[in-house]
Structure 1
């Protein structure tokens, strides 16, 4: 399936890849800040004497704020200037990183992390929007492949860099440099973004359907934001005990249904935050669903594996990061390959990737069962490498296919929906896998290997569900193709019979 050519000329052709490198450099900060902070939490606790609730909000506050603004920020980039929105998010993220590094108490750090999350959510949708705007066809697949490589490298470097910084600057102050590391990246990327990224407002790009200049749909933004907040909050706020929090999911469902209804009505005469007709394209609706389910399994793996190694096998943060590296490196390399292959082989690349992930995770569970001592990091290296290769063939190719039929002028909001699905999937997966993991540890103290295996089986279940989604779609596609062929043959036969008469 060939993607439409970009309609915005943007920068000169030879500068498109330079523009992409700026996007990837800035986007890597938001990804790095997730994995690097995970390993820094013990140092944060030591340095600021933070409570368990405060530590939870250092992670969950970032995730909540990030997820809340993805779609509205993507729409803002579509309606105004992607470069202006991108640079605003980048400047705010860099400033918030400096404030977080200078934090003197719990409230200060949590507040800075909330601002970081908002800024990251503003910045990230513009990256996929620029890829849609600047590239087409095979080049677009390559560009998304490079984005996947960036995700893999950032995931790999985060734990290692965090461990090195904490080791170099000490447990009391090392965590500050986990945030300060963003400053040189932001200061380099800001002037480069102004010089290389296209400044032409995306709203000038032709888009089908009614539209008014400057339209932004504030009611849709409010309904979507409130619904997303209520949906994410029970999953990311692990300190909230009891079953009452799950009632928020009912309220979230009501608000999101109201949002869909409002968008359908508002979209008759205006450009809504999310054009519901996007979901009529099978490639888009399937891709969003696949991202939701797959990220529920794939993200949770790092969470429980890091806990198992550091708490159960007493690995240092640096050694735990090294043990996770095979998955991240395999994903980084395969993402580039997958980006080049997806234009030719389409959904088959994603299906093969999911098979590799299932195989690798199953082998990792077996390795932990057979070798659960200090050597477990070596025992799981090859299985995690295989799973990482598979993951690289899933994430970037799926993003390419999902956005392939999206008009360039709606690329930001459509990408925001896709990334919101990823964030929701991650929150659900970590909550489900973490619940199983901690339940096993609580029932059988010291059985860290058993807890990891059980948690890994839950993550594997999500990945298997994603595989079933792709297989069901493939079967349905073949059925539709046979039906279309049969209809054409019947029409041709009927035409011949009419000629004979």
Structure 2
């Protein structure tokens, strides 16, 4: 199949804005994809790998609980806030240069995290690390849009889906291995230092292998819609903050931020419509949401990530604090989900062009069944045996997850113009971050409420049921899309 590349020479850097740049060869495109996937793995791994390091960080830096929460939340907030603006900047200024800038910043921030001498230092470095991750992530989906078409694009997104599923699920295992190898006192630093050599190698390869963006050009700052970026960033921040800080901010006044968020996001939509009417370039092309496949994909993945990422949050707590397993053993118990997700995502990427949204619906049914079976296994198995009883159901849930994330991304972006791929991918991934924050807060609230009265096993069961509710919500959207598609097929003239 002919490559769908906007430019770049295989093995050479080229120049941003060079419309006559030669397309990448088949080999060059897959090598460029490998660089993107390694960078994506690092940024997503740092969402989950830090969980098992927090007990060591608390002792080493004498960190209060609020600072420990911000070690996680600061990364997630900065990551989510910069996804859409970074996608827009990549579309306008060049995806390769934004990718490399983010990767260099990520390496420096990781080194700063590992060298932290206080909890405040670590919180600030983690926020910078999240900003860098937000710069990198939307360029990956945009580069896939740029380099591949048709079935090959599905395969590429399938590989990206494997990375998303595995990086989230194997984070606790890799963190446990690093802490076990380097010792509990200093092992937590290597959770961050491991990014440095890998990131440097990835940076060198990115300069050689990634294609340019021929449509990129030097444009004034006002063309990047700074007002839209500010309204969107503050609106998302006001939306996420009360959920991220749900355990630390006990008063009900935090929910007033949701009203502020609604006002800011309404103003953002009005501003973007004005930008489009004036012929200016908005940070988000609202016309994208006229396409049912795109807005439905964004809504579906928001709900799914609300259930998906919260599984690992409460599983790590239950296995380590409830069953008193080591970080390494807790990571091993969750690994079947990662294995299943990685295997199924590759398969899903190959099948999505044939089965479409039906494949996503089947995956969601598998995830829901796996979560229900996990809750049942924990309820029936006594003591530590519950950890091993979980592995089979988690494997089933992981296999289902692999059929959801990558195929949904492929379907959502299938009709998005390549020139808008960065901002469209950033919007889609912002839904993932928002869903993760809301899901962890909702599941965590139920988990901790039941823990005080009923113990670890019952708390874990109830937390899983909330995760299951998010997954069932995304399944309803998928089924609604299938029904709407069937109606359209019946009404089309033969």
Q: Does 1:380 pair with 2:380? A: no
CA distance in 2, matches of 1:365, 1:160: 21
The yes-or-no answer on 1:239 pairing with 2:212 is no
1:174 is matched with which residue?
Answer: 187
Mark the runs of 5 or more structure 2 residues left unpaired by the alignment.
Answer: 8-21
Structure 1 residue 173 displacement after superposition: 1.0
- 1 CA distance for matches of 2:195 and 2:468? 34
- In the alignment, the residues of structure 1 paired with residue 205 and residue 485 of structure 2 have an alpha-carbon distance, to the nearest angstrom, of 44
Spell out the pairing of 1:228-267 with structure 2 (5 A cutoff).
228-237=236-245, 238-267=247-276
Give the Cα separation in 2 of the matches to 1:155 and 1:290.
19
1:3–1:55 CA distance, 2 compared to 1 (3 A) = farther
Match of 1:220 among 208, 228, 244: 228
Q: Which residue of 2 aligns with 1:65?
A: 78
Aligned-residue CA RMSD (Å): 1.8
**Aligned equivalent of 1:493:** none
2:171 is aligned to 158
Cα distance in 2 for residues equivalent to 1:81 and 1:60? 29
Written as runs of structure 1 = structure 2, the 5 A alignment for 1:299-338 is 299-338=309-348
- What's the CA shift for 1:37? 0.5
The C-alpha deviation readout for 1:328-361, integer Å capped at 9, x for no partner, is: 1100100000000001111111010001111111
Residue 361 of structure 1 pairs with residue 374 of structure 2: no
Q: Which of 22, 25, 35 is the equivalent residue of 2:35?
A: 22
The alpha-carbon deviation at position 155 of structure 1 amounts to: 2.8
Q: How does 1:56-455 map to 2 (within 5 A)?
A: 56-203=69-216, 215-237=223-245, 238-268=247-277, 269-444=279-454, 447-455=455-463
How many Å separate the matches in 2 of 1:307 and 1:327? 17
Shift of 1:418: 0.3
Gaps of 5+ in 1: 205-210, 489-501
Q: Deviations over 1:112-163 (max 9, x none)?
A: 0010000000010000010000000000000001111112332343222211
Residues 397-435 of structure 1: per-residue CA shift (max 9 Å, x gap): 000000000010110000000000010001110000000
Distance in structure 2 (CA, Å) of the matches to 1:213 and 1:409:
19
Conserved 8 A contact 1:79-1:201: no
2:16 aligned partner:
none
* 2:490 aligned with 1:482: yes
Partner of 1:494: none
Match for residue 479 of structure 2?
A: 471
Which 10-residue stretch deviates more, 162-171 or 420-429?
162-171
Residues of 2 paired with 1:197 and 1:357: CA distance? 35
- In structure 2, distance between residues paired with 1:195 and 1:3: 21
Contact 1:6 1:408 in 2 (8 A): no
Contact in 1 for aligned 2:3/2:147 (Cα 8 Å)? no
CA distance in 2, matches of 1:481, 1:190: 47
Larger Rg: 1
Partners of 1:81 and 1:202 in 2: how far apart? 8
How much has 1:199 moved relative to structure 2?
2.4
The alpha carbon displacement at 1:477 in A equals 1.9
Shift, 1:4, TM fit: 11
* TM-score between the two structures when normalised by the length of structure 2: 0.94
Deviates more, 1:459-468 or 1:161-170: 161-170
Contact 1:79 1:215 in 2 (8 A): no
Give, in whole Å, the separation in 2 of the partners of 1:10 and 1:372: 59
**Inter-CA distance 455–213: structure 2 relative to 1 (3 Å threshold):** closer
Q: Distance in 2 between matches of 1:314 and 1:201?
A: 55
Contact 1:83 1:198 in 2 (8 A): yes
Output the CA distance in 1 between the equivalents of 2:134 and 2:2.
26
Q: What per-residue deviation string (whole Å, max 9, x for no partner) do you get for residues 51-73 of structure 1? A: 00110000000001111100000
The CA deviation at 1:262 is 0.8
CA–CA separation in structure 2 for the residues paired with 1:256 and 1:403: 23
For 1:299 and 1:335, the matched residues in 2 are separated by 17
> Could you tell me how far 1:27 is from its partner in structure 2?
1.1
CA distance in structure 2 between the aligned counterparts of 1:184 and 1:459, rounded to whole angstroms: 36
> 2: distance between equivalents of 1:106 and 1:355?
42
CA shift, 1:481, in A, is 2.4
Instruction: Give the aligned length.
Output: 477
Aligned counterpart, 1:37: 50
